[in-house]
């Protein structure tokens, strides 16, 4: 479990339907360079599935404290579904630049679901009338929320998705299989946050530390109020 940084949290809080805080990448591939000259959607899914462990971003989702008391945490998604995140569509013919740009704009205009790992990938076929693009090529539109992507995250994702050679071997599988536990409870999140705030309060100047220590007390009270209480004992009636 990892807490968002202040800057990433700022990107998350700025999210609005009219101003989605996400970035878009568009990659175009010539499938003639593949070993057998053809790339199927099933093969793309298999390749991505074999590389998910190379970038933790693929399978992490956000979990928030009640009322937005503090910055959210990244946790492994116990309900991760690769086929939700990777979709497949085709452009209407003739498949020119205008149609590709309209389709990418539509994809970008839809907000990512922040209840899941905040990324989507769409394989787009039918690029048959784009000057300079070999016939039969396909595009991949990748959409990620800004809270998950910085410069190094982008490099990590691109490196995880690609090989330097068209016939390179798949990466070695992870030493341990992906086995996420259940999402953390409210008590777990509040306790972890209280500990973090308490530790940082003693590392800060007094003008910052005093309100932080008060925040610890509020969080502790909130956590205690949610602990189940044992029933009050009653005297037996004769």
Please tell me the distance from the alpha carbon of residue 90 to that of residue 129, in angstroms, as a whole number.
13
Residue pair 145/11 in contact (Cβ under 8 Å)? The answer is yes
Higher per-residue pLDDT: 99 or 235: 99
Is-cis flag, bond preceding 94, omega within 30?
Answer: yes
Structure token pair of residue 86: 């990777």
pLDDT exceeds 80 at position 116: yes
Q: Is the pLDDT of residue 76 over 90?
A: yes
CA distance 125 to 144: 21
**146 catalytic residue (yes or no):** yes
CB 154 within 8 A of CB 46: no
10 neighbors 72 (Cβ within 8 angstroms): no
Question: Stretch 70-96: mean pLDDT, rounded?
Answer: 92
CA distance 100 to 209: 53
pLDDT of residue 53: 93
Q: Where are the alpha helices (DSSP H) in the chain?
A: 6-13, 41-49, 82-85, 97-109, 151-161, 186-201, 206-225
Share of the chain above pLDDT 70, in %: 78
pLDDT computed for residue 155 by the predictor? 80
Q: Which of 45-59, 62-76, 166-180 has the lowest mean pLDDT?
A: 62-76
| Cβ atoms within 10 Å of 73's Cβ, excluding its own | 21
d(Cα 25, Cα 104) in Å, to the nearest integer? 9
**What is the C-alpha separation between 73 and 189, in angstroms, rounded?**
8
Q: pLDDT value at position 238? A: 46
* CA–CA dist 94, 99 (Å, integer): 9
The two three-digit tokens of residue 118, written as one number: 């905040």
State the Cα–Cα distance between residues 202 and 192, nearest whole angstrom.
Answer: 16
Beta partners for residue 121, in sequence order: 86, 142
Q: What is the pLDDT of residue 129?
A: 92
Q: What pLDDT sits at residue 125?
A: 95
What does the alpha-carbon distance between residue 78 and residue 62 come to, in Å, rounded to a whole number? 12
Q: Beta 22-29 vs 119-127: how paired, if at all?
A: unpaired
- The helix/strand/coil state of 184 is coil
Q: Which of 26-35, 63-72, 107-116, 224-233 has the lowest mean pLDDT?
A: 224-233
Catalytic one among 88, 146, 162, 198?
146
The pLDDT tens digits of the residues spanning 179-238 come to 888 888 777 777 776 766 656 555 555 545 455 556 556 555 655 555 455 555 555 554
Task: Report the chain's mean pLDDT, rounded to a whole number.
Answer: 82
**Mean pLDDT to the nearest integer, 97-105:** 95
Predicted pLDDT of residue 201:
53
């Amino acid at each position: 479990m990892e807490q968002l940084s202040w800057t990433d949290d700022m990107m998350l809080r700025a999210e609005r339907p009219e101003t989605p805080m996400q970035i878009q990448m568009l990659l175009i591939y010539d499938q003639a360079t593949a070993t057998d000259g053809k790339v199927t959607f099933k093969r793309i899914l298999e390749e991505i599935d074999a590389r998910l462990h190379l970038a933790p971003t693929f399978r992490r989702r956000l979990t928030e404290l009640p009322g937005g008391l503090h910055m959210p945490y990244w946790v492994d998604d116990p309900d991760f579904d690769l086929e939700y995140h990777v979709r497949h569509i085709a452009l209407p013919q003739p498949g020119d630049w205008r149609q590709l740009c309209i389709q990418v704009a539509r994809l970008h205009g839809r907000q990512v679901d922040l209840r899941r790992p905040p990324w989507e990938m769409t394989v787009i076929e039918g690029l048959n009338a784009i000057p300079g693009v070999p016939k039969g090529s396909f595009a991949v539109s990748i959409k990620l929320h800004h809270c998950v992507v910085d410069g190094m995250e982008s490099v990590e994702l691109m490196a995880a998705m690609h090989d330097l050679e068209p016939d390179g071997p798949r990466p070695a599988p992870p030493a341990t299989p992906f086995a996420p536990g259940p999402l953390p409870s409210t008590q777990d999140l509040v306790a972890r946050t209280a500990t973090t705030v308490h530790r940082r309060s003693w590392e800060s100047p007094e003008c910052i530390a005093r309100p932080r220590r008060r925040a610890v007390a509020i969080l502790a009270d909130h956590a205690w109020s949610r602990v189940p209480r044992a029933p009050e004992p009653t005297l037996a009636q004769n």
